[in-house]
Amino acid sequence: MVAVLLAASSLDKDLGLPTCLAALAITAAVSLKARSNPLKLATEISWGTLALVAGLFIVVDAVESIGALKLTQSALRWAQGHAPALGALVTSIAVGIANNLVNNLPLGLIAGGTLQAAHAKGLIANAVLIGVDLGPNLSVTGSLATILWLIALRKEKLDVSFWDFLKLGAVAMPIALLVSVGGAILMQMLFKTF
């Protein structure tokens, strides 16, 4: 799978079809080795999750089509106009919270597009990435990976409620975010090349 994705990426091709074909080939190989019917796997697929992922990509297209990237670029320029440490802190917190409103999959794509369009580098770009990576730890809605894990846990009859996750996330996420942004700020101050 990794080789297929690296090859497709190096050829500047979309990754969806190669990923799908590689997954089908791996499924066929595993099914042949196990001498099992690969169609049985269809009953294990979380079709609702696939619909959710498709919906998240539709959200990204909708956001881009209404010109919201101009708003995010404007917000990024506003943050860059402040002291670097303050701009980085505000940016990472805003991005971290926004993950939990729209999920990190569409937000990460939007943030990447914003960084690229704004030609943002250095501390402010790192702050955006920290927010995208750590922000989803606040709530179950923040990350597609968390949603997938919760689905897997529920299949095993283990339940983590929204409130239980939020209580822990409300402590862990801000601490991790502040420590990470603080580290990025410190690195910039020490090395001036960040």
Whole domain around residue 21: which residue ranges?
1-44
Give the pLDDT confidence of 137-183 residue by residue, as tens digits.
Answer: 999 989 988 888 888 888 899 988 999 999 999 999 999 999 999 99
Lowest mean pLDDT across 53-62, 88-97, 169-178: 53-62
Residue 128 and residue 95 share a domain: yes
Regarding whether 35 and 110 lie in a shared domain, the answer is no
Structure tokens belonging to residue 51: 């619909």
Per-chain mean pLDDT for the chain:
87
| 7 three-class SS | helix
- My answer on whether 89 and 57 are in the same domain is yes
101 in the same domain as 77: yes
Instruction: Judge if 113 and 165 occupy the same domain.
Output: yes
Q: What Rg, from alpha-carbon coordinates, does the chain have? A: 20
* pLDDT of the residue at 194: 46
Flag whether pLDDT at 89 surpasses 60. yes
pLDDT (0 to 100) of residue 193: 53
pLDDT at 169: 94
What distance in Å separates the CA atoms of residue 5 and residue 23, rounded to the nearest whole number? 11
Domain match, 27 and 98 both: no
pLDDT at residue 109 is higher than 90: no
What tens digit of pLDDT does each residue of 117-138 get? Answer: 888 888 999 999 999 999 999 9
For residue 174, CA distances in Å to 72, 96, 177 come to 22, 9, 5
- How far CA 92 is from CA of 18, 40, 66, 169, 180, in Å, comes to 33, 44, 24, 16, 10
Residue with tokens 């050829």: 11
Number of domains in the chain: 2
Query: Is it the case that residue 192 has pLDDT exceeding 90?
Result: no
pLDDT for the residue numbered 180: 96
Percent of the chain clearing pLDDT 70 (strictly above): 99
**Same-domain status, 9 and 62:** no
Question: Are residues 187 and 113 both part of a single domain?
Answer: yes
Contacts 24+ apart (CB under 8 A), 176-179: 176/134, 176/137, 177/92, 177/93, 177/96, 177/130, 177/131, 177/134, 177/135, 178/89
Q: Decide if pLDDT at 106 tops 60.
A: yes
Q: CA–CA separation, 168 vs 159, rounded Å? A: 15
What local confidence, expressed as pLDDT, does residue 49 receive?
79
Q: What is the pLDDT of residue 134?
A: 95
- From the list 110, 85, 113, the residue with the least C-alpha distance to 99 is 110
